[in-house]
Every structure is written in C-alpha cells, then in structure tokens.
C-alpha cells in the first residue's frame, strides 16, 4: 500500500507551491528549496475546515485569536513541553514570520541591538533590520555540540535588548540541550534581555534527540521569553498563514499586542487558519508521529547520498527537515554549486548565501527532504550524477 507520504500530486503543487518551489520554477526542476512538505496535510484538518466553511460565516475574529486556538496551544504546551502557558497570553498571528517581526517591533527601538545566530534563517536579520535595529551575529557553526556561549557576553552592549534563539536551528538542524539553554537563559537574565525563542521546528526532532523549550528551564527565564511558533513545518499549513506568539508576563504581552496592530484590524490571523492549526494540535498527533518517522528515513537517505559525493560532507540534522551540506571540498562557492545542480542536474537547492542564512553559510547548500522517497531518490541521484562530473 502507498504510504500517505508517497502521495505527492505534482500537478497540484505546480499550481500552488510558490516561494522557490514547484509553481515558481520551470517544470523540469525538483525543488528541494523552501521547507514546505510535498505530501498532503492531515485529513482531520481538511474535515474541520470543510465543516467550518459550510457554515458560511466569516465574521471578524478576536484581535488576539479565537479561544479554541489559544486553548489548544496552551494544552499543547502543557502536554508536550512541560510548560504552563496562559491562553490569555497567547496571540494568534498570521505566521511565525510575522511573530518574529512583531516581537522585534515590540522590543527594539531604532538603533537597538539584537543577538542573532550565524547561520540562521534570514527572517531574523530581516525583521531586526525592518524595525530599525541592528543584528549582531553569534557564530554557531554546523556540528557544534555542548555550546557554552563563550564570547556571547562580549557582544552585549547597553543597546542590546533581544537574544534571538532558533531551536531547533534552521539551517544546521541543531537541537539545543537543557544545559545550553540554561547558560543562554542566565545570560539573558543577567543583562535583562528578552529572549525570542523561535520554536517552529520543535516537533521535527529525530531519535534520540529531545526538544526542550528555553521557557521550561526556570521561572526567571520564562518571564522574559517570547515563544514564536507556526504550523507550516509540522503540518504543511504554510498557505493558511497561521502562527502564534506566547508570552509569560503581562507587560511583555501588552507590548506584543500593541506592536501587533491586531486591535486596529490592520493585521490579524485569519480564523480558518486558526481552526486548522487547533485541529492539527488537538487531533493529529498520530499523523505527526508517522510524518517524523518518514522524515527520519528521508534524512538518512539524503545525508547518506550527500556524503557519497566527492567534496561534500553532511552531518545528520538532529531536528528540522533540511540537510545543510558542506561543499567546501568541491572548490566551488555555494552559489556555483547551486547553479550547477540546477542547470545541469535540474534540482533546486538553497545556496548558503549571506542573504539567506548569514556569512557563516558560505561553503554550504541547504536541501529540504520533506518529500516522498521516490522524489528524493530521483533528486539525490541527479545531484550525485551532476556533482561527480563537474
């Protein structure tokens, strides 16, 4: 029997999957680019949405999000993250991307500084810049273990307001340990900084690694933490644009809701997206478990193939469904490797350019493996063939 994760309808994706993927690229290219699954989202989500749609009411929702969504997320934190969150301190957002931006807007004034990792997803640098802040990079190279955050305190000035944690870390796939989070959290306490903890990838953790939220480390750390999350990665709901920001302190919450512009209706999360996300959290744990098993197999396949290519090495990610491959041994730049894979091999990957992940990403390419075994096998065979002949 065909597994649900082999069920990829490319003809639909070619019409709907944008953001560097099927619909945005020529027909003969396999896009292992933006991290967005090729397989279908859970059936329970479709059923809940169908029911919601059939009522034919699309009234305004509450500025902070519908109660069902806020409660589902609070239950999720209690049941899966050892974290008591007050539903009244959760704000539904139109995406994790907006959650990052609005947290930066809430806590950074013009000229203020935020620590961000290097490499890390471009959204951090982008959001800090957009609100007039300055991003200061702290290097966490691929393969780093037992980080002591040495040198981090040297980067903190009287303008520093925010530490941006991405856990698990896109693109390297690192999952931070409780010991590492304790050190980072204590530094934030010492210098009175807010911690923006982006946990959008926190469901996608491979055996034997375990996810810990920095907010679960201690009361003092929790009070200064803002958790940003979303549903694009775990459940493939990117097009519904839904995410959330969770705070644990009333003053932090009021700055967030003010920065959000939700009360004016200029911004806000659409109600259908919140229904979808709440259904996913409440009813799709089995689906998610099976998807992680599939992704772990795809990770092994992808990493194994990458390591068999001369000049390429790849450490298996602990979390996130992306492989961050070191291509320095080819003697080519990230852009050159991505270009040759695309033009000759007909596979699109993300080059480790500064604009995507920061300066430390040069010498790497990033590949998403959230697809079927059939598509990934074909893509890896094309990449291997191309790389072995350059």
Ligand X SMILES: Cc1ncc(COP(=O)(O)O)c(C=O)c1O
Quick note: the x/- pattern for ligand X over 346-385, rule CB under 6 A, is ----------------------------------------
| CB of 381 vs ligand X, minimal distance in Å | 26
The answer to whether 303 contacts ligand X (rule: CB under 6 A) is no
DSSP state of 332: S
SS3 at position 49: helix
Q: Does 135 bind ligand X (CB under 6 A)?
A: no
Per DSSP, helices labelled H in the chain are: 10-16, 43-54, 67-80, 96-107, 123-130, 178-190, 219-223, 250-260, 271-283, 285-307, 334-343, 354-357, 373-388
Q: Return the closest-CA partner of residue 360 out of 123, 141, 135.
A: 141
Contact call for residue 112 and ligand X (CB under 6 A): no
Min dist. Cβ of residue 121 to ligand X (A):
4
Told to check if 91 binds ligand X by CB under 6 A, we report no
The piece of 43-51, 107-115, 134-142, 230-238 that touches ligand X (CB under 6 A) is 230-238
- Candidates 289, 98, 114; CA nearest to 206 is 289
- Verify binding: residue 198, ligand X, rule CB under 6 A: yes
Straight-line distance from the first to the last Cα atom of the chain, in angstroms, rounded to the nearest whole number:
39
The smaller minimum CB distance to ligand X, of residues 35 and 91, is found at 35
Dihedral of CA 258/260/266/267: which sign?
A: negative
Is position 167 an interface residue for ligand X (rule: CB under 6 A)?
A: no
Least distance in angstroms from the C-beta of 241 to ligand X = 7
Does 123 contact ligand X by CB under 6 A? yes
Residues in contact with 62: Cβ distance below 8 Å, sequence separation at least 6, in sequence order: none
Residue span binding ligand X (CB under 6 A) among the ranges 91-99, 146-154, 307-315, 363-371: 91-99
Q: What is the DSSP string of 251-278?
A: HHHHHHHHHHTGGGTSS---HHHHHHHH
| Distant-in-sequence, close-in-space partners of 365: CB < 8 Å, separation ≥ 6 | 324, 325, 327, 334, 337, 338, 341, 349, 350, 351, 352
Instruction: Specify the stretch interacting with ligand X by CB under 6 A; choose among 8-16, 92-100, 341-349, 375-383.
Output: 92-100
Near ligand X by CB under 6 A: residue from 97, 135, 226, 303 = 97
Among 33, 72, 95, 274, binds ligand X (CB under 6 A): 95
Query: CB-wise, 41 or 330, nearer to ligand X?
Result: 41
d(CA 171, CA 325): 10
Print the binding letters for residues 16-55 with ligand X: x by CB under 6 A, - otherwise: -------------------x--------------------
Give the interface segment with ligand X, choosing from 66-74, 93-101, 146-154, 253-261 (CB under 6 A): 93-101
Give the separation between CA 105 and CA 261, rounded to whole angstroms: 11
Pairing of strands 194-198, 225-230: parallel
Chain residues binding ligand X by CB under 6 A are 35, 95-97, 121, 123, 166, 170, 198, 200, 230, 232, 238, 243
């Amino acid at each position: 029997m065909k597994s649900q994760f082999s069920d990829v309808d490319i003809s639909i994706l070619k019409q709907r999957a944008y953001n560097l993927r099927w619909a945005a690229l020529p027909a003969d290219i396999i896009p292992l680019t933006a991290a967005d699954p090729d397989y279908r989202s859970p059936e329970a989500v479709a059923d809940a949405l169908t029911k919601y749609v059939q009522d034919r009411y699309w009234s305004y929702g509450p500025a902070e999000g519908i109660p069902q969504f806020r409660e589902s997320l609070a239950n999720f934190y209690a049941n899966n993250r050892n974290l008591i969150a007050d539903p009244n301190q959760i704000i539904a957002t139109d995406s994790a991307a907006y959650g990052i931006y609005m947290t930066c807007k809430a806590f950074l004034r013009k000229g203020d500084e935020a620590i961000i990792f290097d490499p890390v997803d471009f959204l951090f640098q982008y959001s800090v810049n957009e609100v007039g802040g300055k991003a200061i990079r702290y290097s966490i190279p691929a393969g780093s273990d037992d980080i002591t955050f040495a040198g981090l305190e040297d980067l903190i000035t009287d303008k520093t307001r925010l530490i941006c944690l991405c856990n698990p870390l896109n693109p390297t796939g690192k999952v931070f340990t409780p010991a590492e989070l304790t050190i980072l959290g204590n530094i934030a306490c010492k210098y009175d900084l807010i911690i923006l903890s982006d946990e959008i990838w926190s469901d996608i953790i491979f055996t034997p690694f375990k996810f810990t939220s920095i907010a679960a480390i201690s009361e003092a750390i929790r009070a200064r933490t803002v958790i940003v999350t979303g549903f694009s990665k775990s459940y493939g709901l990117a097009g519904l644009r839904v995410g959330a920001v969770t705070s644990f302190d009333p003053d932090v919450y009021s700055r967030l809701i003010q920065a959000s512009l939700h009360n004016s209706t200029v911004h806000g999360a659409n109600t259908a997206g919140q229904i979808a996300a709440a259904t996913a959290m409440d009813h799709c744990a089995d689906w998610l478990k099976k998807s992680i098993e599939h992704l772990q197999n795809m990770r092994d396949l992808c990493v194994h193939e990458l390591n068999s290519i001369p000049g390429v090495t790849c450490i298996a990610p602990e979390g996130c469904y992306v492989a961050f491959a070191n291509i320095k041994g080819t003697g080519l730049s990230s852009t050159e490797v991505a270009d040759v894979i695309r033009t000759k091999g007909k596979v699109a990957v993300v080059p480790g350019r500064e604009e995507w992940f920061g300066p430390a990403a040069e010498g790497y390419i990033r590949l998403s493996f959230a697809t079927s075994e059939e598509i990934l096998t074909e893509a890896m065979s094309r990449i291997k063939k191309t790389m072995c002949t350059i």
